[in-house]
Amino acid sequence: MVNVQNVTFSYTKRTELLSNLSLKLEAGRIHGLLGKNGEGKSTLLKLISGLDFPQQGSIDTLGFNPTKRYPEMLREIYFIPEELPQLTLSIENYEKVYAPFYPNFNAEQFNGYLKEFDIVDKKSMLTKLSHGQKKKVFVAFGLATNTKLMLMDEPTNGLDIPSKGQFRRMVASAIDESRCLLISTHQVHDLDSLIDSIIVMEKHKIEFNQPIEEITKKLLFRVADRNEKDESVIYSEDTLRGLYQVCENKTGEESKLDIELLFNAIISDKERIIKLF
Amino acid sequence: MNTTFNIKRLGLLLKGYFIENKQRELTTWGIITIAFIFAHEKTIFYLILFIGGILFATRLFKNLSNTPNAIQYLILPATQTEKLVASILLNTIYYLVMTLVVYIIGNLISYGIYYLSILPSFINEPYFSNTFNLFSTIKTKSVMINGHFLKETMSYQFSLWILLRKFAFVQSLFMFGALFFKRNSIVKTLLALSAIGFVLLIIELILLKITFGTFHLNSSIIKPETGDFLGDSNYFVRVYGQYLLIPFFWVASYFRLTEKEV
């Protein structure tokens, strides 16, 4: 679906934002793109969708070179940026203007998502909506386009607590074998139980890209006693409830993935984790 | 599906513009119509056409100066050609036609009010006949008679085609400026034009000095063998230059749009 090969990109000549980056994304999955601020997560989304052009390397998005911005490719991509566009349109008119460009857009689905998000008045102007409400409209519209590739940059920013749950439910129901979602986020807890593949960017490269089932097969996430000594521990965090640990899964025991803990473990001992996969 | 140009997508782009700007368009043209009821002078017409046209042309690409809006615009499933053609149609044909239409409507209303004597003292006598003589003008031209250059004053019809050419030239230039400069594109385009004009003037003066040993030469083209006057070089440059520069700026705008990143 998406194949990024040895891509290098920089906004200025002095600093390289992405360096020799490679990544493959498969259909039927919700990929979570994690990384510290300024690692180039948003830029990667822009490169995949053809909004920025790589200085070196190549990108294949849905079989197209994204820099050409062919309509055949663009009609199968919906991109929700972190900052939303300022459009002097009502929700109804936004649908009227933009939906015809997406051949698989489903108006019923759109109305259903809006209803689930408690947005009832389609005559509301987008400029009058709060950031969170506007985000809901764009998420609902994006899911209803039924595009093969959906890119979301910090989609849960600005959403209230109930809306985050609704967002997870909607995304989970909208994904099928033909669609691929790439979600860039810092709010890892918002996407717990939603994403099924984790991509970690560090030092302007993809350092980790594994499906959840593979992660939980190789790593064990547990809360341990402070006095317990175990050589299989890769990373641990001291909390009031005990030691939160990421360990090598030597016994094949099943555990629930803690994305934040995994991310911190990768940042602190990248070599050891990568060696396991 | 046509990857370069699809008339249906072009139609969707134009429809989208009118849905998004319905209120603004109605208000603007309403105000301009009212202005034309009270002011019938050709100067006002040309001012609204050219100054308003420049503002209109740059506003069409204002989206590109704001990253989220630029993302929305660039990722919209239409080719860059379709997006550019939609903008050219709007900022050249649509704007020119609308200005002409509201000018005629404004004058007709003014005429009606005057002759019905509703506001006889307030409104100037309308130049109803002038509405349709909008394109007639008085021009001076250099002609050579008995080896001397004389200025000849002549009145001739200024065709809609000439107006369209001049307007399309200005619009194409400022549209390119709007795509080239991220902010304050009108001022920057004017500054760039002044700078280019100044450089060309210096080059022209140097060439004149080198070729003819003088900085002064009129713009007439004279056949060297006979001394016959063949035409005014300024006129040729102005007219044919505009014909060449309109597609030049359109093509340059296309490449600028194609290479646009956010």
For the beta carbon of residue B98, count every other beta carbon within 10 angstroms: 19
Report percent pLDDT > 70 for chain A: 100
Q: Are residues A187 and A255 in the same domain?
A: no
Report percent pLDDT > 90 for chain A: 62
Statement: residue B135 has pLDDT above 80 = no
Would you state the structure tokens that stand for residue B62, as one six-digit string?
């204002």
Q: Is-contact A219 A246, C-beta < 8 A?
A: yes
Domain limit, last residue, from A159, A182, A203: A203
Q: Which of A71, A81, A98 is nearest residue B79 as measured by Cβ atoms? A: A71
Domain limit, last residue, from A185, A203, A221: A203
Rounded to whole angstroms, the Cα distance separating A153 from A82 reads 5
Q: Bigger pLDDT: A99 or A230?
A: A99
Rounded to whole angstroms, the Cα distance separating A144 from A82 reads 19
Q: What is the mean pLDDT of chain A?
A: 91
Rounded to whole angstroms, the Cα distance separating A171 from A181 reads 9
Min CA distance, B48 vs chain A (Å)? 25
Best of A17, A48, A51, A93 to mutate (most B CBs within 10 Å, chain B): A51
Cα A240 off chain centre by: 30
Q: Which segment of A255-259, B149-153, B186-190, B239-243 scores lowest on mean pLDDT?
A: B149-153
CB pair distance less than 8 Å for B72 and A85 = yes
DSSP string, B238-253: HHHHHHHHHHHHHHHH
Q: Are residues A13 and A116 in the same domain?
A: yes
Number of independent structural domains in chain A: 2
CA distances from B67 to A85, A252, B71 (A): 8, 47, 6
Rounded to whole angstroms, the Cα distance separating A96 from B15 reads 9
Statement: residue A71 has pLDDT above 90 = yes
Which 8-state DSSP code applies to residue A67?
A: G
CB pair distance less than 8 Å for B79 and A97 = no
Best of B59, B64, B72 to mutate (most A CBs within 10 Å, chain A): B72
The CATH number assigned to the domain holding A175 equals 3.40.50.300
**B82, exposed or middle or buried, with CB in 10 Å at 0-12, 13-18, 19+?**
buried
Q: Which residues contact A258 (CB under 8 A, 6 or more apart)?
A: A221, A244, A246
Its ipTM equals 0.90
Statement: residue B71 has pLDDT above 70 = yes
Q: Are residues A192 and A76 in the same domain?
A: yes
Per this entry, what is the length of chain B?
Answer: 262
CB pair distance less than 8 Å for A70 and B19 = no
CB pair distance less than 8 Å for A85 and B21 = no
Region A20-32: mean pLDDT is 93
Q: Are residues A47 and A94 in the same domain?
A: yes
Q: Is-contact A166 A94, C-beta < 8 A?
A: no
Cα–Cα nearest to A18, from A10, A26, A29 = A10
Region B184-204: mean pLDDT is 91
Give the pLDDT score at B145: 61
CB pair distance less than 8 Å for B68 and A86 = yes
Region B6-10: mean pLDDT is 94
* Confidence grade of residue A3 (pLDDT, cut at 50, 70, 90): very high
* Confidence grade of residue A89 (pLDDT, cut at 50, 70, 90): very high
Rounded to whole angstroms, the Cα distance separating B92 from B170 reads 9
CB pair distance less than 8 Å for B261 and A84 = no
Rounded to whole angstroms, the Cα distance separating A149 from A72 reads 12
Best of B75, B81, B260 to mutate (most A CBs within 10 Å, chain A): B75
Statement: residue B130 has pLDDT above 60 = no
Rounded to whole angstroms, the Cα distance separating B52 from B157 reads 24
Domain hosting A140: range is 2-203
Q: Which residues contact A270 (CB under 8 A, 6 or more apart)?
A: A202, A207, A208
* Domain extents in chain B: 7-134+166-258
pLDDT per residue as tens digits for the range B109-128: 887 877 776 555 555 555 54
Region B3-18: mean pLDDT is 92
Domain limit, last residue, from A203, A235, A255: A203
Q: At what angle do helices B7-38 and B95-115 cross, to 10 degrees?
A: 30
Chain A residue at shortest CA distance from B72 = A85
Give the strand pairing for A29-35 and A197-202: parallel
CB pair distance less than 8 Å for B262 and A46 = yes
Tell me the β-bridge partners of A236: A245
CA distances from B117 to A155, B73, B114, B131 (A): 64, 51, 5, 20
Rounded to whole angstroms, the Cα distance separating A69 from A76 reads 11
Min CA distance, A81 vs chain B (Å)? 7
Which 8-state DSSP code applies to residue B132?
A: T
Q: Bigger pLDDT: A47 or B3?
A: A47
For the beta carbon of residue A110, count every other beta carbon within 10 angstroms: 21
Which 8-state DSSP code applies to residue B90?
A: I
Q: Is-contact B53 B245, C-beta < 8 A?
A: no
Q: Bigger pLDDT: A236 or B4?
A: A236
Rounded to whole angstroms, the Cα distance separating A217 from A214 reads 5
Statement: residue A22 has pLDDT above 90 = yes
Highest mean pLDDT of the ranges B37-41, B146-150, B230-234: B37-41
CB pair distance less than 8 Å for A86 and B69 = yes
Rounded to whole angstroms, the Cα distance separating B119 from B113 reads 7
Cα–Cα nearest to A37, from A186, A156, A258 = A186
Give the pLDDT score at B191: 95
Q: Which of A51, A74, A100 is nearest residue B261 as measured by Cβ atoms? A: A51
Region A131-158: mean pLDDT is 94
Contacts of B21 in chain A (CB under 8 A): 88
Q: Are residues A185 and A216 in the same domain?
A: no
Cα–Cα nearest to B104, from B133, B83, B80 = B133
Tell me the β-bridge partners of A4: A23, A59
Cα–Cα nearest to A39, from A12, A14, A16, A63 = A16
Rounded to whole angstroms, the Cα distance separating A123 from A251 reads 57
Give the pLDDT score at A239: 83
Would you state the structure tokens that stand for residue B14, as one six-digit string?
């134009």
Element (H, E) at B137: strand B136-145
